Amino acid sequence: MKLYMAPMEGITNHVYRQAYLHHFGQIDRYYMPFLSSTGLNYKEIRDIAPENNQGMDVIPQILTNQTDVFLGLAGMLKDFGYSEVNLNLGCPSGTVTAKGRGSGFLRFLPELDRFLEEIFATSPLPISVKTRIGYADEAEWPAILELLMKYPFTEMIIHPRLRMDLYRGEVRPGTYEFAVERTVKAEKASDYLCYNGDINTVEDYEILRSRFPGAEKVMLGRGLIANPGLPGELRGDGSMKREQLGAFLDEIYTEYRKIVPDEKNTLFRLLEIWTYLSRSFPEGEKVLKRIRKSKSLREYESVVCEALRTFGD
Ligand SMILES: Cc1cc2nc3c(=O)[nH]c(=O)nc-3n(C[C@H](O)[C@H](O)[C@H](O)COP(=O)(O)O)c2cc1C
């Protein structure tokens, strides 16, 4: 089994990834939130800086529909020491898709074909892809998959939802099944596909494995942020301990205090994590509400302290 941490803008940055590595460390690969311009800002440079990514297998991600942006970023990432990049064809955000990027690119297959041909011709790094299965209709998937399979992606991470699904409703497992069958037929390596979407519990994973016994690689997003102990549970190592979670949160807090100048912004970033993490607490909704209302870090600390007391052992 290979477990990946999903890229999540605003959450799985280097602070989160490093704290995760130090206190949980059950992840084989970490995917970074996307970069979309060669004019990297300070935050992005800090996120990709090798010294902030020690001890882990990290893959940066690019979101663009422009060849020169992709190649420019891939070149910079190579200079930073990275050995692979991931192409984002999944982002459903309206501002992204309106520009024909992310899952918006899936509506323009001739343009996507040309873009892929150009980037694969000269990319300084091998490329993997993270994709949705269409924009508005499942019927789009066979043509999208056929197009993607023309190119030598190192792996294909599939989130079986349409752009129009956003993150809501059930995933569409039939489309993943289609990809499994198609890639077997094309004699792709058995670890070519990676499944992503709604794996929140051991039971979810077991259902996935019973339907797809070959699903060796799984990317975890919201389920992992809600329960950082999920990878350990999937590996049969038991669930997370209160002390472990406390130390993990402490490290995130301390690191944010070092790099985020003001309390309001620090609180905002911590809140992004708690939006999901609160689900692991017996009175999660209440905890989240109190964190949302916290006006100072002192207040935040006392809410978290109290919440941790209610958390298992
Ligand atoms: C807040 C948030 C930020 C995300 N940022 C990214 C991103 O930068 N790149 C990307 O490929 N996917 C991004 N995603 C999508 C996740 O990587 C993942 O595909 C999605 O959450 C479905 O997996 P899950 O059900 O395990 O959460 C984001 C999702 C959320 C909720």
**Domain membership of residue 248 as a residue range:** 242-309
Both 225 and 276 in one domain: the answer is: no
Residue pLDDT, tens place only, 214-226: 899 999 999 999 9
- For the chain, which ranges sit under pLDDT 70? none
187 and 263 both lie in a single domain: no
Give the model confidence (pLDDT) of 15-33 as tens digits.
Answer: 999 999 999 999 999 999 9
Q: Give residues (CB < 6 A) around ligand 1.
A: 6-11, 33-34, 61, 88, 90-91, 130, 159, 167, 196-199, 220-223
Amino acid type, 238? G
* Tokens read off for 301: 């600390």
Phi (first) and psi of residue 303, to 5 degrees: -65, -45
CA 6 to ligand 1: nearest atom:
17
Question: What is the pLDDT at residue 143?
Answer: 98
Q: Write down which residue in 234, 251, 275 finishes a domain.
A: 234
178 and 224 together in one domain: yes
pLDDT score, position 312: 80
Among 178, 212, 234, give the residue marking a domain's end.
234
- Regarding whether 180 and 42 lie in a shared domain, the answer is yes
pLDDT digits (tens, 9 = 90+) for 125-162: 999 999 999 999 999 999 999 999 999 999 999 999 99
- Per-residue confidence (pLDDT) for residue 313, from 0 to 100: 76
Sign of the torsion angle spanned by Cα atoms 102, 103, 104, 110:
positive
Last residue of a domain, one of 183, 202, 234: 234
Q: How many domains does the chain have?
A: 2
Structure confidence at residue 138 (pLDDT): 98
* Domain match, 153 and 218 both: yes
Residues 39 and 112 in one domain: yes
- The ligand 1 atom nearest the CA atom of 33: 8
152 and 32 in a common domain: yes
Q: Are residues 54 and 32 in the same domain?
A: yes
**What is the reported pTM?**
0.98
Residues 156 and 273 in one domain: no
Which pLDDT does position 79 carry in this prediction?
98
Contact status, residue 85 vs residue 125, Cβ threshold 8 Å = yes
Do 210 and 272 lie in one domain? The reply is no
